[in-house]
């Protein structure tokens, strides 16, 4: 399927590894997924690989990335919305796992308020400010107030939500996990490539998705120091609209490539010296109440660059709350800068770059959903136990 000038998708090839039927384990859980799965939706096949049974009650897709069933992988039983209560009573799931973006809020809230006697876990990623804008804020806060288990994108967003959740209703059943981590297969199905810089002596960096925050003038400075930027575009916007100003100012150092499938993440992106995260300036001055979504978000490209095992570039944002920075800093995987002139010598410091790359490769599997499935299942069992105890 050709989605855009840059993006062609081969679904049979992508999802072929996720179609084998796997027997349930001895103490398997029946997990009812509610809502939508967003990016890297095949990650949930890891539950099946661990021996659990999945069911799906899906929302109406709100965005192009709002993945819902029927799915081209796994063996999830889809539950029709018009009779979902009856079917859920027949199935008797052990737990409800509701997720993940604003498009899931309505149906997740409906299920929560139905009081059907099944422990309910709410996991939310993107984004609270969007929910506020479209009139779903009260339902979102209900979900984080009354859910039996609450999963947050990161500690920063957990602290932010808890500013608005009634203090006396807070539960100890909480967990922190990026909601759309990729399946481990994306990290393991190919080998690292030789660096482009090894053949031409230049520095080659990559942007996976949209270019965010890097100006044409900054690109010109990078080009003047023989630093290239390679963009893998996937958005359905005119190539000329996005790239003409960059091509004009640094035609020999700015390159646009076709979309790269998850099957080639490792091979394709490991040839670069570093990857760009969102180059944004924060203004929150350590105040959660002043934090906006870009301060609290973890961009999906973090996981893609982790698969490739390359350092990640972002603004330093000293003295501001920045979840993206804290996340990368925890694993010592980042390159930080205030100005482009501060970034250039770091990109050219081979020992520094090798050290950071070593850290990325050491921790890269922690950026897969599979890595977290055992602890996530343990969390589900804790929620189930607590729910039964409180009956």
The pLDDT, as a whole number, for residue 243 is 78
Rounded to an integer, the average pLDDT of 263-280 is 97
Domains and CATH numbers, the chain: 11-182+369-389 (3.40.50.2000), 186-367 (3.40.50.2000)
Encode pLDDT of 357-373 as tens digits: 999 999 999 999 999 99
Asked if residue 2 has pLDDT above 70, the reply is no
pLDDT in tens, 114-137: 999 999 999 999 999 999 999 999
Classified as helix, coil or strand, 53 is strand
Please report the pLDDT score of residue 61 as a whole number.
77
pLDDT classification of 247: cutoffs 50, 70, 90: confident
User: How crowded is residue 254: how many other Cβ atoms within 10 Å of its Cβ?
Assistant: 22
Each residue's pLDDT tens digit, 175-210:
999 999 999 999 998 899 999 999 999 999 999 988
Model confidence at 48, pLDDT cuts 50, 70, 90, reads: very high
Instruction: Locate the DSSP E strands across 75-167.
Output: 77-78, 95-99, 120-123, 149-152
pLDDT (average), residues 42-61:
96
- The confidence score (pLDDT) of residue 11 equals 80
Are 84 and 53 contacting, i.e. CB atoms less than 8 angstroms apart? no
Q: How confident is the model at residue 380 (pLDDT cuts 50, 70, 90)?
A: very high
Q: Tell me the two tokens of residue 105.
A: 């809020």
Contact 119, 153 (CB under 8 A): no
The whole-number pLDDT of residue 237 equals 57
Bridge partners, 337 (sequence order):
315
Query: Residue 331, Cα to own-chain centre: how many angstroms?
Result: 17
Q: Identify the band that residue 239 occupies on the pLDDT scale cut at 50, 70 and 90.
A: low
pLDDT value of position 233: 78
Q: Are 43 and 183 in contact (CB under 8 A)?
A: yes
Q: Is the pLDDT of residue 140 over 90?
A: yes
Question: What would the two tokens of residue 78 be?
Answer: 């889809």
Is the confidence at residue 9, as pLDDT, over 80?
no
Q: What integer best gives the mean pLDDT of the chain? A: 93
* Residue 365, number of CB atoms within 10 A of its CB: 14
Percent of the chain at pLDDT > 70 equals 94
Inter-CA distances, 382 with 236, 363, 372, 375, 386, Å? 44, 27, 15, 10, 6
- Residue 201 CA: distances (Å) to CA of 144, 204, 274, 348: 51, 9, 15, 10
Residue 3 pLDDT more than 60?
A: no
- pLDDT for the residue 217: 95
Per-residue confidence at 238, pLDDT binned at 50, 70, 90?
low
Helix, strand, coil in percent for the chain, rounding step 5: 45, 15, 40
6-20, 120-134, 241-255, range with greatest mean pLDDT: 120-134
What's the pTM value of the predicted model, to 2 decimals? 0.94
**Which residue spans within the chain are E strands per DSSP?**
30-35, 53-58, 77-78, 95-99, 120-123, 149-152, 174-176, 203-208, 227-232, 254-257, 274-276, 312-315, 334-337
Q: What is the pLDDT of residues 78-92, one digit of tens each?
A: 999 999 999 999 999
- pLDDT at residue 279 tops 70: yes
- The C-alpha atoms of residue 176 and residue 183 are separated, in whole angstroms, by 18
**Alpha carbons 227 and 348: distance in angstroms, whole number:** 9
């Amino acid at each position: 399927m050709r989605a855009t000038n840059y993006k062609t998708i081969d679904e049979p090839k992508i999802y072929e590894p996720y179609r084998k039927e796997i027997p349930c384990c001895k103490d398997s859980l029946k997990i009812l997924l509610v809502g939508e799965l967003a990016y890297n939706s095949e990650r949930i096949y890891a539950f099946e690989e661990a021996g659990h049974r999945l069911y799906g009650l899906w929302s109406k897709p709100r965005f192009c990335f709002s993945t819902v069933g029927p799915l081209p992988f796994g063996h999830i039983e889809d539950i029709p919305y018009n009779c979902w209560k009856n079917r859920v009573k027949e199935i008797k799931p052990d737990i409800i796992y509701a997720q993940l973006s604003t498009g899931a809020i309505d149906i997740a809230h409906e299920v929560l308020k139905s009081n059907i006697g099944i422990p309910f876990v709410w996991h939310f990623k993107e984004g609270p400010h969007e929910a506020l804008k479209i009139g779903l804020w009260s339902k979102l806060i209900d979900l984080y107030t009354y859910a039996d288990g609450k999963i947050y994108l990161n500690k920063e967003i957990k602290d932010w939500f808890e500013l608005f959740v009634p203090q006396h209703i807070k539960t100890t059943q909480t967990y922190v996990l990026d909601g759309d981590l990729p399946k481990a297969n994306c990290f393991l199905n190919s080998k690292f490539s030789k660096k482009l810089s090894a053949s031409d002596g230049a520095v080659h960096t990559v942007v996976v998705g949209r270019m965010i925050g890097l100006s044409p003038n900054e690109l010109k400075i990078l080009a003047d120091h023989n630093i290239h930027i390679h963009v893998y575009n996937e958005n359905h916007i005119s190539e000329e609209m996005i790239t003409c100003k960059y091509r004009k100012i640094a035609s020999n150092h700015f390159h646009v490539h076709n979309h790269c499938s998850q099957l080639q993440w490792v091979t394709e992106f490991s040839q670069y010296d570093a990857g760009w995260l969102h180059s944004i300036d924060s203004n929150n001055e350590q105040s959660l109440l002043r934090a906006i979504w870009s301060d609290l978000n973890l961009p999906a490209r973090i996981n893609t660059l982790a698969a490739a095992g390359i350092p990640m570039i972002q603004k330093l944002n000293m003295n501001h709350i920045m979840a993206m920075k804290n996340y990368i800093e925890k694993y010592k995987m980042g390159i930080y800068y205030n100005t482009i002139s501060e970034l250039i010598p770091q990109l050219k410091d081979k020992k520094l770059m090798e050290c950071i790359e070593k850290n990325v490769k050491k921790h890269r599997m922690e950026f897969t959903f599979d890595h977290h499935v055992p602890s996530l299942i343990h969390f589900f069992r804790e929620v189930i136990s607590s729910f039964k105890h409180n009956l």
